């Protein structure tokens, strides 16, 4: 399961906020909601967040094995 817990830590350490992401960087409020609820995001959005926050992908998300993962 992909979780966005690192995003919130990275955001707190930056000069950005959810408000500035929405107003200045045109990140949608639905994207912020997806981050809050660990819902899937596309790689373009992950790339945008990495660029805005000047961080690697690990600063946005991490993988945690889960029983809720779909079977392969």
3-state secondary structure of 38: coil
pLDDT for the residue 67? 80
The reported pLDDT for the residue numbered 60 is 98
pLDDT in tens, 28-44: 999 999 999 999 999 99
Average of pLDDT values for 21-26? 97
Q: Answer yes or no: are the C-beta atoms of 31 and 45 closer than 8 Å.
A: yes
pTM above 0.75, yes or no: yes
| CATH numeric code, 2-63 | 1.10.260
In the chain, where the domains are located: 2-63
Per-residue pLDDT, averaged over 53-60, amounts to 98
pLDDT at 52: 98
């Amino acid at each position: 399961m992909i979780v966005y817990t690192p995003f919130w830590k990275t955001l707190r350490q930056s000069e950005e906020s959810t408000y500035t992401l929405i107003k200045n960087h045109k990140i949608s409020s639905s994207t912020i909601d997806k981050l809050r609820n660990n819902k899937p995001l596309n790689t373009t959005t992950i790339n945008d967040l990495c660029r805005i926050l000047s961080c690697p992908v690990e600063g946005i998300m991490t993988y945690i094995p889960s029983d809720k993962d779909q079977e392969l």
